[in-house]
Chain A
């Protein structure tokens, strides 16, 4: 008796430490893509966070079996390792630059943040959260362009870059106006005094 399609998909997902794309799953299991999708739907129900220590996540353009965050404590105790320290504020800013303004060069990141960001970028490259995705061939020396990686999407529980809110929606127009007003009024103050 041959295994059910969801068993095949489940077996492949279990041994993959990275998200597996639909096409790769279909190719590995010998199923058609619609059959694979149907199997994934069945598995999603079975691996819902409320009913299992393992959850099926749709992240970074693929599917990934992970432990349920509710069980993270025992997993960490069993593996005798602490949860990685949260990233710094500077690291989150660099990631935000790569996500919303990328691909962009190291210099562009530093210009947006107003401070040199090379050390933070190096750290994020080592962690695999950003990667060099090309080169700016129009700039002198063709500096590397940085973008977010699949590991970043998995860490943020996102299927793709589309899963994040638009950059412009994160700050209200009133707040932006206040920034502009504060700056321009500060600059104009000396003239007013002179007048």
Chain B
């Protein structure tokens, strides 16, 4: 009965649940792969099954107990996290902000209705179970399939959709870098404050833009102070430390 010491002490533990029947290790794998939803697994029943299968006299009893306790604790943690509303919050503002009691009441009332509808469906499915239709199956003939254009569009969209990448053909090879322009600004500031206009005189639009980005970067580092007397007015760079 004792399992060989392969590091898989629970390899011989199988479970029989409503939602799954088979090796316990596979159950864990299915949960991790999201093939089985964690909150559909009755953890209490799982623990009961393990307790019933325990053989305290076996050589690897301690290993088994330890491994089971570890994996069961992970399942409990995963289940509690899954059920935690905070982790399910949508990134949009609507759900990120705390709902008012009125909104919560609305949502709970809607959920209560869905819960009752689910119970109704359960009874209805149970009543209708046991109907078996004809086992005869005719293979569809090519050319006679009825294809809904909407479904075809959906399938095509799913198969071929990808993010549209912005066109970059208008961009030439990189001829100037931020570091290069930062060096230029540092050199210009050695003689004292310098205006953006003087600094970029004679530069093309790309170099002017990169020079501005380099100045912002230097200002963020604390090496340069940016001065602008009025909105849209002249921009002046001023060194903040002797090394700038």
A61 contacts the other chain (CB 8 A): no
A90 contacts the other chain (CB 8 A): yes
Instruction: List chain B positions with a Cβ less than 8 A from chain A.
Output: 18-19, 34-37, 39-40, 82-83, 85, 88, 90, 95, 101-102, 104-105, 107-122, 124-138, 150-151, 154, 157
Pull 11 A–B residue pairs with CB atoms less than 8 Å apart, ordered by A.
A15-B134, A67-B133, A72-B130, A88-B37, A89-B118, A157-B131, A158-B124, A170-B116, A170-B120, A183-B101, A183-B104
| Chain A-chain B contacts (Cβ-Cβ < 8 Å), number | 166
A37 contacts the other chain (CB 8 A): no
Q: B-side binding surface: helix, strand, loop or mixed? A: helix
Among candidates B39, B116, B133, residue contacting A171 with C-beta atoms closer than 8 Å: B116
Among candidates B109, B130, B134, residue contacting A176 with C-beta atoms closer than 8 Å: B109
CB-CB under 8 A for A179 and B108, given A14-B134, A120-B37: yes
A157 adjacent to B124 (CB under 8 Å): yes
B113 adjacent to A170 (CB under 8 Å): yes
Instruction: List chain A positions with a Cβ less than 8 A from chain B.
Output: 13-18, 55, 57, 64-67, 69-70, 72, 75, 83-90, 92-93, 95-97, 99-101, 107, 110-116, 118-120, 132-135, 142, 144, 154-158, 164-165, 167-168, 170-171, 175-176, 179-180, 183-184, 186-188
- A8 to chain B minimum Cβ distance, whole angstroms, is 16
A17 adjacent to B19 (CB under 8 Å): no
A179 adjacent to B112 (CB under 8 Å): yes
Q: In the bound complex, how far is the Cα of B4 from the Cα of A19, in angstroms?
A: 54
